[in-house]
Amino acid sequence: MTDAGRQPATGREPATGRQPAPGREPARDPDRDGEQPSLPVLLEGVLSVGSELELHSTLQHIVDSATGLCGARYGALGVIEPERVRLTGLFTSGMTEAERAAIPHLPDGRSGLLGTLIGDPRPLLLDDLTRDPRSAGFPPGHPPMRGLLGVPIRVHTEVFGNLYLTEKQGGGSFTDEDLALLRVLASQAGIAIGNARLYETVRRRERWIEGAAAVTTTLLAGRPAADALMCVAERARLLADAAAGVVLQPTPEGGMEIVAASTQGEPGDLVGTAIAPGSPVLEQLLGGEAVFIEDSATDPRMTTHVRERFGPSMMLPLQSGGQLIGTLALPRDRGGPAYDAVDRLLASQFASQAALALVLADAQHDREQLAVYEDRDRIARDLHDLVVQRLFATEMMLESTRRRSSNAPSGDTVGDELARAVDELDSTIQEVRTAIFALQQPPTDAPTTFRGRVLRETGGAAVLLGFQPSVHFAGPLDALLPEPVAGDLLSVLRGALAAAHRRSEVASIEVEVDATPSRVRLTVSDDGRTESATRGTTVTWESPL
């Protein structure tokens, strides 16, 4: 302590561990002569600082109580970030909003007397801080201050922050009694802050756990891969209070590319942004390491053009069982608060859970695809059995006809039976072609709307036809058609498309579905050539509703 600093003179070991100056009497507060108001005020302050559980409210309550307890005009509570040994938050008392707005920037505790108390967390008592050589002065717009009283706040063994009081009301100086009162309040504040931090950590952990459970439930509900990645990015962004949530995946060239992005507005050009091979941060990401960045815009490891928009960022591996799916990045706006240790831990656990859910969802999708293939194999076997039986029956019919035609004196019935056989063969061929169209539909998620199901049928037919049939809808189909009618219509549509395919020189097909409250009509027209050499065929099907 320099000559500009004043240690408490109490006749015993002072709070700072130094002997009092000989012959120095402690300063007296004329407002307190003849009365003992300190104990009730102290008890009230101690009780008040422990009345809150929300951390932000607790910190503001502590600085307000300290200011009133010691009769200070201004008070501040600076929160220290242990990793970078600087102030990351400053709660003030006694300053109006206009006074705060007039200060261009609040101190960060890297220098001056605030930095002194951070570097040497012992009580500090000064009559005139402007005369202390360690003072760095005030920024423009800062109110004038002279007397200073500061004490550290410890949570267990960790220095959480510091309490600063300035400008004793009434024009006096802070006394040793003020220092003692503030130390007691700071000790109780450490307990209150510890409880509030524990409560906030529990609440944050609960939100992250609920978020991870919601993501797992959503992914296992069978969402497509792109939607699954977007779900992870969006939920993580909300939980981390980030400006954006993005998922990057490795590229064939050896880099990483943003494949899903969630922001409050439009993601702009985020999707498609790639980290080129050779980037300093890429080796860590591809190795499955978490990367924590204080300022994306200035960190030399960041090389993409979008980095200038963001500040603090977390880049977390999405990996499960040694399988790297990608990276989850959660950047905050420039100037935003840095991620603390709890944020990093909870976000890393969320990323691990989300990666596991993505792997399970992918495995579930594979199982569903396998079930589709197995079902198609069953359909093919049933089709084979049906075709063989009907063709065998037709063969027997033709054989019988041949025998009778060779023995009968007249062939009056031969033509009829042969016609029946031909019709039977034609019907069999029609069913085979219809089944082939059904089996050649892509094994993707079935559409939920009737319009989507019609488009899926025509899209599957386009694979064999070589062109896309034209489709027109009229009326509220999805609202009017019950499932049985919709199923019948789709069956007729498949048959009509199969029939059109076997006609020669077919170059275009028009499908029209028209629905009214009383009926639905399907019309399938093509320009193919039939056996009678006519050009064009129209199939019409109608059903009441």
**Per-residue pLDDT tens over the stretch 452-502:** 888 888 887 887 777 888 888 888 888 888 888 988 898 899 888 888 887
Q: How does residue 266 score in pLDDT terms, banded at 50, 70 and 90? A: confident
Q: What is the pLDDT of residues 170-227, one digit of tens each?
A: 777 888 888 888 888 888 888 888 888 788 888 889 988 888 888 888 777 766 767 7
Lowest mean pLDDT segment, chosen from 85-99, 111-125, 442-456: 442-456
Place of tokens 């100037």: 335
Distance CA 133, CA 116 (A): 11
CA-to-CA distance for 71 and 55, rounded, in angstroms?
Answer: 24
Q: Which residues contact 130 (CB under 8 A, 6 or more apart)?
A: 137, 146
| Residue that is written with structure tokens 């980095």 in the block | 307
From the list 3, 192, 161, the residue with the least C-alpha distance to 77 is: 161
| Cα separation, 54 vs 204, whole angstroms | 12
3-class SS string, 230-263: HHHHHHHHHHHCCCEEEEEEECCCCCEEEEEEEE
Whole-number Cα distances in Å, 493 to 227, 264, 455: 31, 44, 11
What is the residue whose two structure tokens read 């999708």?
365
What are 257's strand-pairing partners? 249, 274
Residues 6+ apart with CB under 8 A from 494: 434, 437, 438, 457
- Percentage of the chain exceeding pLDDT 70: 74
Contacts of 284 (CB under 8 A, 6+ apart): 291
Q: Hey, is 164 helix, strand or coil?
A: strand
Q: Residue 103 in 3-state DSSP?
A: coil
Give long-range contacts, CB 8 A cutoff, 24+ apart: 17-25: 17/122
- Domains within the chain, CATH numbers bracketed: 37-200 (3.30.450.40), 209-359 (3.30.450.40), 446-545 (3.30.565.10)
Q: How far apart are CA 230 and CA 233, in angstroms?
A: 5
Least confident piece of the model among 120-129, 274-283, 341-350, 409-418: 409-418
Contacts of 391 (CB under 8 A, 6+ apart): 425, 428
pLDDT at 515 over 50: yes
Q: Which amino acid is at 326?
A: G
